[in-house]
Amino acid sequence: MQSRTPSSPRTGRPRSAAADEAILEATRAALVELGWSKLTLGDVATRAGVAKTTLYRRWAGKNELVVDAVAVLFDELELPDRGSLAADIEGVVLQFAALLDRPETKTALMAVVAESTRDEPLRERIRTSIVDRQKRLVLEGRARAERRGELPAAPDPGTAAATADLIFDVAAGAVVHRTLVSAEPVDGEWVRRFTALLLGGLAAAAD
């Protein structure tokens, strides 16, 4: 999250470990209440019962803090075995949609992505903290489908990776667009239609 300079290894009062979690929790609460654009670091510090200095000692700014505060929520995503590839996909898409529907993520995710278009370190932080953790779900799903015999083994590693990336962009992008731009619900009906489209496309592409 943040690095201690290793120059002065252990002298003086150590940092409070409890403060970290209090700050992240306060950040999420402030996101829910105020939204991204009205969230201020001074307010977060007050909510966490912490001085502003403490906060700045640990995070470089609002973007980094919010990424950390929200990232942990994405670790809840799982890929439970529902017996078929279609069911697995539907399950994880619904989970993802539910996560995106929470007010803290809804207001924060697109905001930090927008910021990241002009801030390479921030983009990297988002990738490692959030995006790549979702991508594993695609890989895991594919592997499970191959074990079940629902999909043929990947012809070669390059194509497999490109396909995984494509699926990831399509699935995550579609859910995000439907939720935030179209502002329509991602319900069972929509998920079934989307999954049918995706699996149909994969099957056709495999020919």
Partner DNA sequence: TGCTAACCGAGACGGTACGTCCCGTCTTGCG
Partner DNA sequence: CGCAAGACGGGACGTACCGTCTCGGTTAGCA
In the complex, the residues that contact DNA under the rule CB under 7 A are 4, 8, 10-16, 19, 38, 40-43, 49-54, 56-58, 61-62
Token digits of residue 69: 């505060």
C-alpha span between 195 and 193 (Å, rounded)? 6
Q: CB atoms < 10 A from the CB of 206, how many?
A: 11
- 145 lies in the site for a second copy, by CB under 8 A: no
Minimal distance, residue 29 CB to DNA, in Å: 15
- What Å distances lie between residue 10 and 59, 105, 119, 156, 199, CA to CA? 21, 37, 33, 50, 56
Q: Which does 16 bind (CB under 5 to 8 A by kind): a second copy, DNA, none?
A: DNA
Question: Binding to a second copy (CB under 8 A): which residues in 90-129?
Answer: 106-111, 113-118, 123, 126-127
Q: What share of the chain is helix, strand, coil (3-state, %, to 5)?
A: 70, 0, 30
Q: CB atoms < 10 A from the CB of 56, how many?
A: 13
Largest separation between any pair of C-alpha atoms in the chain: 65
Q: Which does 56 bind (CB under 5 to 8 A by kind): DNA, a second copy, none?
A: DNA
From 19-27, 41-49, 90-98, 176-184, span contacting a second copy (CB under 8 A): 176-184
Minimal distance, residue 6 CB to DNA, in Å: 11
Per-residue burial over 177-192, b if 16 or more Cβ lie within 10 Å, else e, is ebbeeeeeebeeebbe
Q: Which is nearer to DNA, 42 or 157 (CB)?
A: 42
Minimal distance, residue 54 CB to DNA, in Å: 3
Q: Which residues bind a second copy (CB under 8 A)?
A: 35-37, 106-111, 113-118, 123, 126-127, 131, 162-163, 165-166, 168-170, 172-178, 180-184, 190, 193-194, 196-205
